[in-house]
A = this chain, B = another copy of it.
């Protein structure tokens, strides 16, 4: 068996240790005689898995006790509606930052449920390559919340700071950056993330929400789209995605074993720095993003000659470097180097890039 380095933007690599443990436990979890997939979500075995996962996540992120942690379904796309349906009612208006493809989707969906004021728009010449300075935006006095996307997965643009929004709750789509480094949860009203990048398998969505914000949803909100439904029932109003929850718990244990989010951040910083350094040192590769807001997680880059893109991808694939094709809206390449991408994977990519440039550039 040869494992590859998979640079997919998501679903993405999982730590090999996690997969090996899931494999070993597949038919019999801890002597229960059952796969985790087969367990009643209300049984004592799965309850212990669920509680341990939440406790470990709370420890890793130092989540204050006045926040609920919800284990939901539907991905960030479901949150794009759940957030306004649950939170915009207080004033009927919300501020949104428009900094790339995913924040555009969040804005588009929110408009169905209330007034959306785009208080940051970083598009220039059809591209998103920057974020405003930390004091470069205003907060509307009548905003029920401010929504932003700390890391834009497609464009590779990441905020180097947490926006200060005063008394107005800050909401963050952390799908592609959660758990990549320590973050002060108390600065946020709500954090959400699809699991399939840094948490576990697709089909699980984690929401961390300050309890006072779990309020009155708009009329017509489906029961399953009310945060209160899930907060009041320990995320077990109906059957949760149990296997994803279990896998997430294994990932949290792995993160603790490597030094928590500070340890993870050190690795991620090394991986990203090495790759950007290689790109910047080359005349052949280019990353268009303002260096102050380059993503640690998603590194788009182009070749000086786009006609070589196909050969690059073919050669990379043969070298065990998979899923490097950039998003069609940006073109070129994209290396997503989430938590589970080993440093050796980034080193191998850098070596391949240098060799490709030497022979074909």
Contact = CB atoms under 8 A, between A and B. Distances in A.
A241 B78 CA distance: 13
A37 B201 contact: yes
B26 A242 contact: no
A144 interface: no
A107 to B, nearest CB: 13
A34 B322 contact: yes
Contacts of A10: 40, 239
A202 interface: yes
A224 interface: yes
A301 interface: no
Interface residues of A, number: 68
A234 to B, nearest CB: 15
Given A39-B8, A220-B220, A201 B14 contact: no
A230 to B, nearest CB: 11
A255 to B, nearest CB: 17
A82 to B, nearest CB: 8
A240 interface: yes
A179 interface: no
Contacts of A239: 10-11, 75, 194, 196, 202
A309 B222 CA distance: 38
A19 B40 contact: no
A110 to B, nearest CB: 11
Contacts of A220: 112-113, 218, 220
A27 B33 contact: no
A137 interface: no
Contacts of A20: 26-27
A207 to B, nearest CB: 14
A76 B239 CA distance: 9
Contacts of A8: 38-40, 43
Contact of A26 (B2, B23, B222, B320): B23
A76 to B, nearest CB: 7
A4 B23 contact: no
A225 interface: yes
Interface string A35-68: 1011111010000000000000000000000000
Given A14-B37, A223-B81, A3 B26 contact: no
Given A12-B38, A109-B222, A202-B240, 10 more contacts: A4-B34, A11-B41, A19-B37, A23-B23, A37-B201, A73-B75, A77-B237, A194-B239, A201-B243, A202-B242
Interface of A: 1-4, 6, 8-14, 16, 19-20, 22-23, 26-28, 32-35, 37-41, 43, 73-78, 80-82, 85, 109, 112-113, 194, 196, 200-204, 218, 220, 222-225, 237-244, 247, 320, 322-323
5 contacts: A19-B35, A23-B23, A33-B322, A37-B202, A243-B243
Q: Which 8 A-B pairs have the closest CB atoms?
A: A203-B241, A81-B222, A4-B33, A23-B26, A73-B73, A77-B238, A8-B40, A37-B201
